[in-house]
Structure 1
Amino acid sequence: MAGEYEETLLKKHYYENCPGCKVEQRNATQRGFPIKEIISIWIVVLCTALPISSLFPFLYFMIRDFHIAKREEDIGYYAGYVGSSFMLGRALTSVFWGIVADRYGRKPVIIIGTISVVIFNTLFGLSVNFWMAICTRFLLGSLNGLLGPIKAYASEVFRPEYQALGLSTVSTAWGIGLIIGPALGGFLAQPAEKFPNIFSKESLFGRFPYFLPCLCISLFAFGVTIATFWLPETLHMHNYNNKSQADSYDALEAASCDSNAEDKKQEIEGREETSKESLIRNWPLMSSIIVYCVFSLHDMAYTEIFSLWAVSPRKSGGLSYSTENVGEVLAISGFGLLVFQLSLYPIVEKILGPIMVSRIAGVLSIPLLASYPYIAMLSGFSLSMLLNCASVAKNVLSVSIITGTFILQNNAVDQHQRGAANGISMTAMSLFKAAGPAGGGAIFSWAQKRQNAAFLPGDQMVFFILNAVELIGVLMTFKPFLVQRRA
């Protein structure tokens, strides 16, 4: 009896010191605006998003410098393989990292993910050939599995009334990272050519012209890695299947005979039953993941195609932009997206709901993308003005869609399954996003060779195919395909 009493005291001490319980208790009593949590999630997500697309503005020139493409029109094919290697690596490991996050906590996975950015993003900037670039990007994707756990973390660390804001923070930081990353890549690539008074051609940055943007992102990731050691853990790591704990819990029940304790025991038993449910059979989860994948395929293909289209020559239907010009457009887009997501999206989502917001954003994206080939016919200030407005609008609409699907996914499962659920989501999304750059690069190269075709010549075909994918995603947001979990 004394042994059981000691175990009961130990269990009580464990509950009082459980990181997840502390977070829940803090959230229950906290009434202020969760600015600290927003900043924490923001910098972690930004850290993992920056390296994903930072290469796109200079990837065309990087592939050219590797001398692997025999013709200029073939550069897009090889650029697609480099862009896809990251997503392929993440697709193979996302479920594993989700399971690790559910078993050992969100925090260890987050730390490993930020460390991988420091190491492999730096090595990518030092790539001397095509295969080194492929391998470093693949390893970066394989070890950077924190996006799924950080979404689970965001849904747990915020109170219910701020959950939309929390998941909006994830998608906003993700969207900003996918825009600021290319902006940094555009501004800082080839520094010896752009800033010859600061960087000589014989210096490290002259010999490795694409290392500077990668180094800046890796230094930021190093600072984020240090900061993540102070993140609170939100996962309850109570081992309910442990026999000694079960026995001590029974002793506590017999001693207290308290109705609240009985309720808690029933809740635990219910959680054990729920944990045995198959996530694959959870149609609200799976339908939201499939919709998310379709839109992710579109977004990743658009991200690569936009940069390739902007830097390609006018004779091929492009804009003849430099990497710096592309960086300026994407930096403006990032600022506009930041303002919208932090000020307007939570209000719009509260009024319309996540499904309706995603649906409307998808519909509006179609005529917007159809206008891009006609924007390329302009020049001077009118080109710059319209292109910036279109880019801001497109990125705002894309991130609104992704935020809505984030909310649906995390509402479709209980806390103890969120890591695995988001791991499944990341695996499926990564496969689609791996197809995005490869398919986008191939379609772009093919379209460049049909400038005089009678039907949708040149880049008109590229944006037509992007719109076809977007339309499929919009149609899938309707019932009976997409359903929400009943409260």
Structure 2
Amino acid sequence: MPWLALAAITSAQLASALVLTAAFPIVGPMASSLLDMPIDEVGGYAGILGAAFMAGRVLTSTLWGWLSDRIGRKPVILIGTLLCVVVNILFSISSSFAMAVTLRVVTGVVNGVVGVNKAVTGEIVTSPKQQAVAMTFLTAGWSLGLVLGPALGGLLLGVGPVGEEYPFMPPALVVAVIGALAVVAVWFLLPETLSQHAPLPRGLRWMSRTPAVASSSAGSGDAAVPSDSVPLSGAPASQAGSDTALEDSGIELTDASGSAELVPRGEDGGAAPARAAAPGSAASVAASEGAEGSQDALASRSAALAAAPPGRPADPARIAELEAEAEGRADEAAAADGRRWMLCRRHVGKVIGIYTLYSCGTILVDEVFPLWAQAQPVHGGLGLSAADVGTVLAASGAAMVVLQLTVCQLVMRRLPTRTLFWVGATIQVPLVLVAPLVSGLALGPGVTPQPVVPGSPIPTEEVPGVTVAWDRPAVMAAAIAMVFLRLSAAIVSFTACAVLVNSSVPDGERGAVNGVAMATASVGKAVGPAVGGAVLAWALATTASAWPPFIVGAVLNAVVAVLAWTLPEELSLPYAMREKDAKLARQRQARAQAEDEAQADEQLTDARA
């Protein structure tokens, strides 16, 4: 495993997540301060601030992915991380609500590294066994950001001399420091994995250079092979990578009889020297006629002849003809699928659609939790402070990261990717539904829940069980357990979903497909906070409870679980492996058809005799 490169990508993912999530506990107080309204009444406005970031990301995620396929992954990650933390600082010193919304949109516009990080992870780690494990480190960075960001936002709100004048700036400054460290890590530790890209402008060419430490870190483990290199076997690099993937997955390259290896291997694991082809053999006929022209084709035909039962020899010329026909039909189908819009291609649209819906449901609950936790118990909230919310998220996040780097990796090595996605989404349904029960611990004895009265003054007195939590330790303990369990299941599903998105297209299109996925998912992530904030504000004002937004989140997760179950199991395998399996199947079918024809000719000859 290229650990140093993975560490660099994880740091960039963490910085991107912090820019998003550090604002979760801030948007409520910021809207309350800028609009001079009680925090119990600003749910809708806070939802607009939360949705603004994703609205900006919708506009440019596809562009960032396309750009990474053209100029390389590394420059896009460097540019996106730098711009994101700078604009986030400007957002923290907004002087009006309109300015805050505008800068939040711009922050989303320049946040284009998440999809590119997923693409580059699938390129530096090519082994199917280790790709899901490597993706857990990427999602560990994101999940750490999911909990560390709100913790920073809540604990650092108004802290220090800077916080006295700009209360929302201290968290943004800490995020900027982490972002700067991520830029340094990416520059020194991450190699460029896209070898064929357009030349950068002269002033930006330094971004694609790879220092020696990055080259050495990528040289061990499953480092990506440039797409234009040709291995000694004569097969393209992408095909060589799929051979490695097949071997790592435990699938042997054998023929239909199970005895002859299609690609002979030497004692050292490399390709064995080819045997001399006898006159009239499959290899000599194919070489003389130029059929296929690749060593893999020659090896497969030689294996076909070697495995043919005595008395029924397969005509090598006929095998070559049938293979050529099968490959031609496959190429036509692939070309027709490639001409379609990406979302209309086989499996791609369905995977991205499920990812979008899942993102919407998950971030809806993520955005609602801080607003609900800070609402008064008498109105159906938990009565916690912003610092309490930060403590809850920090404690649950620390436990979740440990769980992800230990138990989750063991699970991901043993279960298919699609199954992991389905299980994670299913578990979240009851966890989201029971969340509002915690508010019962915050309500004081004899206190009757009261709906929010619009225009009521901001409370200045803390009354246990009315304006603040009655049993604060119990409320915080229950909230930590709730957040820990829900986010652990969510991270497992997001990790599996990232692998499924990468597996749906060839390597050369990963940047684009992840860009499209991030754009469509950003639509869901923009809708989620807006809907969640509005529904929570309505619920507190009419029912004095937080059940409605959590019910919406649970329903969305239930729909995702059903749709995830309908995904084909083959998506758990990398695209290159599926293509290799399909090619082997076509070769076996061609040989079987040639043998059947030879047997029929033999029977006809015997009948005539």
TM range (shorter): 0.7 to 0.9
Amino acid at match of 1:449: A
Measure how far apart 1:277 and its partner are: 4.4
Is residue 80 from structure 1 mapped to residue 47 from structure 2 by the alignment? Answer: yes
Distance in 1 separating the partners of 2:524 and 2:172: 25
SS of the residue 1:280 aligns to: helix
Distance in 2 separating the partners of 1:101 and 1:329: 37
1:345-360 correspondence runs (5 A): 345-360=408-423
Match of 1:300 in 2: 363
Amino acid at match of 1:44: A
More moved, 81-90 vs 458-467: 458-467
Match of 2:387 in 1: 324
Match of 1:388 in 2: 480
Distance 1:131 1:481, change over 3 A: farther
1:298-447 correspondence runs (5 A): 298-378=361-441, 379-447=471-539
Match of 2:280 in 1: none
Could you tell me the TM-score, scaled by structure 1's length? 0.81
Distance in 1 separating the partners of 2:185 and 2:336: 35
Q: Match for 1:222 among 177, 180, 186?
A: 180
Distance in 2 separating the partners of 1:424 and 1:283: 15
Measure how far apart 1:336 and its partner are: 1.6
Match of 2:306 in 1: none
Amino acid at match of 1:472: V
Match of 2:90 in 1: 123
Measure how far apart 1:78 and its partner are: 0.7
Deviation per CA, 1:296-353: give whole Å up to 9, x if none: 1011111110000111111111111111100111111211221122112222122221
Amino acid at match of 1:115: L
Contact kept? 1:288, 1:482, Cα under 8 Å? no
Measure how far apart 1:36 and its partner are: 1.3
- Bigger helix fraction: 1
Measure how far apart 1:154 and its partner are: 0.3
Contact kept? 1:152, 1:410, Cα under 8 Å? yes
Q: Match for 2:71 among 94, 98, 104?
A: 104
| Larger Rg, first or second structure (1 or 2) | 2
Deviation per CA, 1:180-238: give whole Å up to 9, x if none: 100100110021xxxxxxx3xxx432111110001110122122223322221001206
Is residue 472 from structure 1 mapped to residue 559 from structure 2 by the alignment? Answer: yes
Match of 2:260 in 1: none
Distance in 2 separating the partners of 1:355 and 1:57: 33
Deviation per CA, 1:69-99: give whole Å up to 9, x if none: 5x65430111111111110111011111111
Contact kept? 1:284, 1:482, Cα under 8 Å? no
Distance in 2 separating the partners of 1:68 and 1:106: 44
Contact kept? 1:190, 1:206, Cα under 8 Å? yes
Match of 1:113 in 2: 80
Measure how far apart 1:274 and its partner are: 9.2
Contact kept? 1:284, 1:483, Cα under 8 Å? no
Is residue 43 from structure 1 mapped to residue 11 from structure 2 by the alignment? Answer: yes
Amino acid at match of 1:425: A
Give the superposed CA RMSD: 2.6
Measure how far apart 1:368 and its partner are: 1.6
Match of 2:166 in 1: 208
Measure how far apart 1:483 and its partner are: 6.9
Deviation per CA, 1:162-183: give whole Å up to 9, x if none: 2111222222211211211001
Is residue 451 from structure 1 mapped to residue 543 from structure 2 by the alignment? Answer: yes
Distance in 2 separating the partners of 1:410 and 1:308: 35
Distance in 2 separating the partners of 1:129 and 1:417: 41
Contact kept? 2:2, 2:124, Cα under 8 Å? no
Distance in 1 separating the partners of 2:557 and 2:518: 20
Q: Match for 1:234 among 179, 193, 203?
A: 193
Deviation per CA, 1:256-278: give whole Å up to 9, x if none: x99658649999xx899699443
1:114-153 correspondence runs (5 A): 114-153=81-120
Distance in 2 separating the partners of 1:167 and 1:482: 19
Deviation per CA, 1:118-166: give whole Å up to 9, x if none: 3101101111111111111111111111111110100011141321112
Distance in 2 separating the partners of 1:238 and 1:102: 7
1:184-199 correspondence runs (5 A): 184-191=152-159, 199=160
Contact kept? 1:275, 1:416, Cα under 8 Å? no
Distance 1:447 1:107, change over 3 A: same
Deviation per CA, 1:333-385: give whole Å up to 9, x if none: 21122112211222212222122122222222122222222122122433222
Contact kept? 1:298, 1:470, Cα under 8 Å? yes
Amino acid at match of 1:224: A
Distance in 2 separating the partners of 1:429 and 1:258: 41
Distance 1:156 1:480, change over 3 A: closer
Distance 1:41 1:79, change over 3 A: same
SS of the residue 2:95 aligns to: coil
Match of 2:146 in 1: 178
- Structure 2: segments with no counterpart, 5+ residues: 199-229, 237-292, 298-326, 442-470, 580-609
More moved, 442-451 vs 72-81: 72-81
Q: Runs (4+) of structure 1 moved beyond 4 Å?
A: 257-262, 264-267, 270-277, 480-483
Distance in 1 separating the partners of 2:78 and 2:296: 34
Measure how far apart 1:447 and its partner are: 0.6
1:64-79 correspondence runs (5 A): 64-67=32-35, 69=37, 72-79=39-46
SS of the residue 2:167 aligns to: coil
Distance in 2 separating the partners of 1:258 and 1:466: 52
Amino acid at match of 2:378: K
Deviation per CA, 1:2-25: give whole Å up to 9, x if none: xxxxxxxxxxxxxxxxxxxxxxxx
Distance 1:259 1:358, change over 3 A: closer
Distance in 2 separating the partners of 1:366 and 1:63: 30
SS of the residue 1:283 aligns to: coil
Distance in 2 separating the partners of 1:190 and 1:480: 47
Match of 2:122 in 1: 155
Match of 1:194 in 2: none
Measure how far apart 1:37 and its partner are: 2.5
Could you tell me the TM-score, scaled by structure 2's length? 0.65
Contact kept? 2:365, 2:549, Cα under 8 Å? no
Distance 1:129 1:273, change over 3 A: same
Measure how far apart 1:481 and its partner are: 8.1
Distance in 2 separating the partners of 1:330 and 1:374: 18
Distance 1:482 1:295, change over 3 A: farther
Distance in 1 separating the partners of 2:120 and 2:295: 23
Distance in 2 separating the partners of 1:125 and 1:264: 60
Amino acid at match of 2:546: D
Distance in 1 separating the partners of 2:357 and 2:541: 27
Match of 2:607 in 1: none
Contact kept? 1:333, 1:391, Cα under 8 Å? yes
